[in-house]
Amino acid sequence: MKIHKEGYKIIFTVLAILIILNVLLCQFFLVSQFSKILILIISLALWAFVISFFRVPKRISNNSDNDIYSAADGKVVVIEEVFENEFFHDKRLQVSVFMNVSNVHVNFAPVRGIVKYYKYHPGRYMFAWLPKSSVENERNSLVIENEVVGPVLIRQIAGAFARRIVCNLRPETQISQCEEIGIIKFGSRVDLFLPLNSKVHVSLNQNVKAAETIIASV
């Protein structure tokens, strides 16, 4: 397991702040030895949590053009037929995964192919599990064209606490299945918009893992 490059600045900033707070509390305030130890333990636990948020686990998948993998770790909160009006302008099968702060927040490509569309949308920061967050929150939309599945739209959505979405892919980029596509910082959601003939293999409230759990197949 490694640490995502987007986390280095935040990790060391938090470390510096915690060191300063510990020094100030222990040197300039009358606190007991027990309190000093407790403050140190809490600080280390907080720093460990921040580090864990940016972890990038090694995932093993059996790549297949007929399978569509989860793009995110988390819980399935939506499985429904919807009218997608940003790119397809027709009906699609939407499968959404909500990521809480303890989940891995790196996102992975559900299919291999060529990036055909990318657009960043500024927006609000409602809680990511709300249905309106899919079209009103800050988000990135990314479409990967696969020869077997066809085009798949991946939407990275910021949540109430997520304030930055990172995606370095742009149109005409070739990407492999289960390759990293980006990261959303501190709580968020990822929507997949799939062909209507997709056979779904997950259920509502099921916990899934990016690049390991097969969401659907064609």
Active-site amino acid positions:
188
User: Which amino acid is located at 172 in the chain?
Assistant: E
Would you give the end-to-end CA distance of the chain in angstroms?
32
DSSP 160: S
DSSP letter string, 19-60: HHHHHHHHHHS---HHHHHHHHHHHHHHHHHHHHHTEE----
Phi then psi dihedrals of residue 18, to 5 deg: -65, -40
Question: What letter would DSSP give residue 206?
Answer: -
Measured between alpha carbons, how far is 165 from 158 in angstroms, rounded to an integer? 7
Say which amino acid occupies 146. N
Q: What are the DSSP E strand ranges found in 2-160? A: 2-3, 55-56, 67-69, 74-84, 90-99, 106-108, 113-121, 139-146, 150-158
Distance CA 12, CA 157 (A): 26
| Pair 142, 120: CB distance under 8 Å | no
